[in-house]
Structure 1
């Protein structure tokens, strides 16, 4: 048995309920993981509200770290007792223990603790595929300027550090002076408080009117049009989230009028489609965390039973860095 946070209907944070669930033994290609900590991400809100629909009842969450209790037939890269962490395409991490496909589960290096492992996998692998694999047609080179929205959040603070290590000049946005200062502390070259400044005007000022090569945008509806206006010709708009709501339909001719722009809506699990690629990207993430290039900042910790409060804080933008549930 395992305690878990479950929803039986879509809605606000109050639909998150603590229940007891049976776990069982792993089948072929599966493992049973006993969690020490579970990551909290905005995609979990989409699962709760039904923006991303899944069969109900549903245990949300796609990120966690713990110990393998049992492995199913055909699993060769893991064994019972292994310390592991994962980002998974199927929800189910808001619990003490779960069965899951082994494909996305990676052995966690001894130097990385469980809370860090739980907080970094989905967010760190997201930054990996954005900065290393979601690139403008002209590529990115040291000295190039990029725009990254929500730069003081869990994904954003990792991006600030990794971008600096790659030599990119990251312009970030955040909703308070305190959050702007935090992102600059973590490597952002410039920060814009979008509540007190027009981010399009500031980006043009910072870049001498040229604009940026790429915008990485997890906000969605509220920033989409402005982000397009920040791009230089042949620039790339990478929308990887919908924190303010989904981007409404628009005319493709808009991209032509603004300078032959490119638009993509990438997802992490397209990149993690094979065991080999999952491990390769995880190894790249583990290396930058182990060598200190990227530090995983965890500012919010909640008991599993307080998942609803965690969602309230996340949606109210009261959080910085990463948040975890302690199982």
Structure 2
């Protein structure tokens, strides 16, 4: 991408508005620019974007910790209208209302997406901000509970960041799957009520979660810890695992150094350590993704799961959305209204 695209960059291509990152840094590096509209390649569709989800992976890319290489357009999930279909695409047509996992470039008026990662929207979600929030947190929740941690009925689960976007849907998914209500943590107890509304039984501050969880479980600990925070929170979390417990890391929001016990310690404690990346899996095994997108669409469309959209920002205020997101004072899911 040209850092300062103009009509002469790609003759004949129309321009669109997009949020562009030309250098790594804070929210101020998110700048609104005119760039050439993308066109779909084989197996792809292009979309006119109505809503784009804001996720921590966007922050990681912006600061240089992710897959984004400057200059780039952040954003990995959108909802909107199909504009064009590329060669080889079947089952999608121009004018159709869809949601898509984009693997980047979502903060824009027009995006391209793989047809296999694009799903028709139910009628009741068309034009709703929630339509742009379906595929990152829900995909994570479905994979974490079933394929990665493989939580069984009766097992106890602790999730860090209970009032965030992922915690919001996992608390509800656990309830839907017939699992025990979760234990959760938050950075501020002012967020605890929001987490409880979404299926958490007990919510603790980060500063005391380990002693509180051990007390709540009679010293046994929990069967599963789901951790996006990392650093010292993760280090302390190993100590609250029960025998045969599993700790799953799926991000490092703290950006602190990873602290993990060695294999001898884990063998002695009879516990396991697993990782999951919602950004990497679509590249490594894209065939595994579509079933989770279809299930997410069905559950949200049926009203079983509420993704917890709490703030909607215009595209031009993407930097404000990132600022509030990083301050960790907000709850739920943030959305950009694009068109």
Q: Shorter chain as normaliser: what TM range? A: over 0.9
The Cα offsets for residues 188-232 of structure 1, whole Å up to 9 and x where unpaired, read as: 11111225xx10011111111111111110111131111111111
Which consecutive residues of structure 1, in runs of 5 or more, have no partner in the other structure? none
> Which residue matches 1:118?
132
Q: CA deviation at 1:270?
A: 5.4
Please point out which of 158, 168, 171 is paired with 2:180.
168
> Which residue matches 2:146?
132
Matches of 1:10 and 1:284, distance apart in 2: 35
Q: Which range is displaced more, 288-297 or 185-194?
A: 288-297
> Which residue matches 2:17?
3
Q: CA deviation at 1:128?
A: 0.8
Q: Is the 8 A contact 2:117 2:293 kept in 1?
A: no
Matches of 2:302 and 2:51, distance apart in 1: 23
Q: Is the 8 A contact 1:58 1:92 kept in 2?
A: yes
The Cα offsets for residues 16-59 of structure 1, whole Å up to 9 and x where unpaired, read as: 10000111432211211110010000111100000114322110
> Which residue matches 2:212?
202
Please point out which of 285, 291, 300 is paired with 2:296.
285
Q: How many equivalent pairs are there? A: 321
Matches of 1:258 and 1:187, distance apart in 2: 33
Task: Spell out structure 1 runs of 4+ moving beyond 6 A.
Answer: none
Q: CA deviation at 1:185?
A: 1.3
> In the alignment, is residue 264 of structure 1 matched against residue 277 of structure 2?
no
Give TM-score scaled by structure 2 length. 0.89
Calculate the aligned-residue CA RMSD, in Å: 1.8
The Cα offsets for residues 156-215 of structure 1, whole Å up to 9 and x where unpaired, read as: 1111111122222300111222211111111111111225xx100111111111111111
> Which residue matches 2:12?
none
Q: Which range is displaced more, 113-122 or 142-151?
A: 113-122
Matches of 2:114 and 2:217, distance apart in 1: 45
Q: Is the 8 A contact 1:127 1:159 kept in 2?
A: yes
Q: Which range is displaced more, 151-160 or 244-253?
A: 244-253
3-state SS of paired residue (1:234): strand
3-state SS of paired residue (2:318): helix
> Which residue matches 1:70?
84
Q: CA deviation at 1:83?
A: 1.0
